[in-house]
Structure 1
Amino acid sequence: MYLFDASSIVNIIKRGLTRPLSDGATLDLALYECITALWKEHLLLGVLSKELVQEFVELVSDIFKVIPTYSIDGREDSVFDLAVRERITPYDASYLIVAIENGHVLVTDDRKLLEVALKYIRAITTSQFLSRYHKK
């Protein structure tokens, strides 16, 4: 099974796809990270229109009603320790802890997270995931 981080979810949605997300799970915090990423692309980077972002936000909301989600509840110490040890954010450490504990392949487009994750688990980019997905 795959664990999608927010960067991969947003990039899959921006390609007009949702079905590939049915092959995995994510973290509950990814909902807020996805909305923040879309907000940034609209307001700060100016690459997405407000209307398109609103459509994407609605799509993200719908996805989170059906995709399995994990919480880091009870794992806060492990998340913090990994974040400090690997010099990554607690958000990134959360994905990594859940992927490690559940034997999931992490899908991320965050270069730093990918680099660190490869020390512990299988991790791939969205492009790598989609190329495998389309070969099914």
Structure 2
Amino acid sequence: MSRLLFDSSSLIKALKQGRVDLLARNYIHWLTIYEVLNAIWKETRLLKTIPEDKVIAFAEILKQVTDLMKILDPKGLEEDMLRTAIQRGITTYDASYIVLAMKHGLILVTEDSKLRAKARGVVETTSLDELSASLGSIRE
């Protein structure tokens, strides 16, 4: 299944679960890398849930995994992002995921239930758990 756009919440969850199989050959927004690194920094520095000696290894894994993914650039879609943000009552950051998914015919994978609700009717959305469950039923 190579038509998925992962946001940072789903990318982090997939990495923590070791689900590289779901990520490879799929898509991320170019800002997702920074968003993931910021979340890992927060877990290490502020929440203290990831030991400092493990965080660099996590960054290396992120680099290896994102090398297997296609990175999308929203350049040229500024008007669509702003229009979507205003119409949907969301940030332009969230709107950029919806617009990229729409432009490239991708399913948006996010753990953000509010974003999934706002994207309803514009693009197909799913969560990592829903995706894993649907793939499990396909394999059976």
Please indicate, yes or no, whether the TM-score normalized by the shorter chain is above 0.5: yes
Letter in 2 for 1:131: A
Shift of 1:44: 2.2
Task: Say which of 52, 55, 65 aligns to 2:54.
Answer: 52
Q: Which runs of 5+ in 1 are unaligned?
A: none
Secondary structure of the structure 1 residue equivalent to 2:24: helix
Secondary structure of the structure 2 residue equivalent to 1:106: strand
Secondary structure of the structure 1 residue equivalent to 2:23: helix
TM-score between both structures, scaled by the size of structure 1: 0.90
- Where do 1:19-98 residues align within 5 Å? 19-98=21-100
Q: State the distance in 2 between where 1:66 and 1:13 align.
A: 13
Shift of 1:23: 4.9
Residues 128 and 48 of structure 1, relative CA distance in 2, 3 Å threshold: same
Structure ID, larger Rg: 2
Equivalent residues, number: 136
Is 1:27–1:69's contact at 8 Å kept on the other side of the alignment?
Answer: yes
TM-score between both structures, scaled by the size of structure 2: 0.88
Shift of 1:69: 1.2
Is 1:8–1:108's contact at 8 Å kept on the other side of the alignment?
Answer: yes
Q: Which runs of 5+ in 2 are unaligned?
A: none
Shift of 1:64: 1.9
Shift of 1:101: 1.4
Aligned-residue CA RMSD (Å): 1.6
Secondary structure of the structure 2 residue equivalent to 1:3: strand
Letter in 1 for 2:121: K
